[in-house]
Structure 1
Amino acid sequence: MRLKDEKFYKTVRDFLDIYLIKHRGYSLNTQKSYREAINLLLLYFKTELGLEYASIGFEDITYSNITGFLEWLSKSRGCSPATVNLRLMAIRSFTKYAGILDSGKIYMQVEVGNISVRKTPGKVVEFLTAPALETLFEQPNRFKTNGYRDFCFMRLMYDTAARCQELVDAKIHDLSIRKTHATICLTGKGNKLRIVPISPSVVELLKTYLDKAHPTEQRQSDDYLFFTTHHGRKSRMSTDAVNLFMKKYGEMARRACPEVPERVHPHQLRHSRAMHLYRAGMPLVLLAEFLGHADVNTTRIYAWADTEMKRQAIQKVSKVTEGDTIEPIWANDEELIKRLYGLA
Structure 2
Amino acid sequence: MRQRSASPHTVASYRDTFRLLFRLAQTRLHKSPEMLALPDLDAPLISAFLDDIEERRSVGVRTRNLRLTAIRSFFHFVAFEEPTHSEHIQRVLAIPGKRGDKGVVSFLRREEIDALLAAPDRSTWIGRRDYTLLLLAVQTGLRLSELTALNIDDVHLVLLCHKK
Band the TM-score falls in, shorter-chain normalisation? 0.7 to 0.9
Q: Which residue of 2 aligns with 1:147?
A: 127
Q: Distance in 1 between matches of 2:135 and 2:12?
A: 30
Contact 1:140 1:147 in 2 (8 A): yes
CA RMSD in angstroms comes to 2.1
2:137 to 157, 162, 167: 157
Q: Which residue of 2 aligns with 1:67?
A: 47
- With the length of structure 1 as denominator, give the TM-score of the two structures: 0.43
Contact 1:92 1:109 in 2 (8 A): no
1:156 maps to a residue whose letter is L
Q: Does 1:171 align with 2:151?
A: yes
Q: Please identify, of 137-146 and 28-37, the stretch whose mean Cα deviation from structure 2 is larger.
A: 137-146
SS at match of 2:104: coil
For the pair shown, which has the larger CA radius of gyration, 1 or 2?
1
Superposed displacement of residue 130, structure 1: 2.2
Superposed displacement of residue 137, structure 1: 1.1
1:115 maps to a residue whose letter is I
1:150 maps to a residue whose letter is D
Q: Does 1:106 align with 2:86?
A: yes
Q: Percent sequence identity over matched residues?
A: 28
Q: Which residue of 2 aligns with 1:35?
A: 15
Q: Distance in 1 between matches of 2:70 and 2:16?
A: 9
Task: Give the total of aligned pairs.
Answer: 160
The runs of at least 4 consecutive aligned structure 1 residues that moved more than 4 Å come to: none
1:34 maps to a residue whose letter is Y
Structure 2, unpaired ranges of 5+:
none
Give the number of the structure whose residues are more often strand, by fraction. 1
1:80 to 41, 49, 60: 60
The superposition leaves residues 143-162 of structure 1 with CA deviations (integer Å, 9 ceiling, x where unpaired) of: 22221111001011223333
Q: Distance in 1 between matches of 2:68 and 2:41?
A: 12
- With the length of structure 2 as denominator, give the TM-score of the two structures: 0.85
Structure 1, unpaired ranges of 5+:
1-20, 180-199, 201-344
Matches within 5 A, 1:125-136: 125-136=105-116
Judging changes above 3 Å, is the alpha-carbon distance between structure 1 residues 164 and 37 closer, same or farther for their aligned structure 2 residues? Answer: same
1:176 maps to a residue whose letter is H
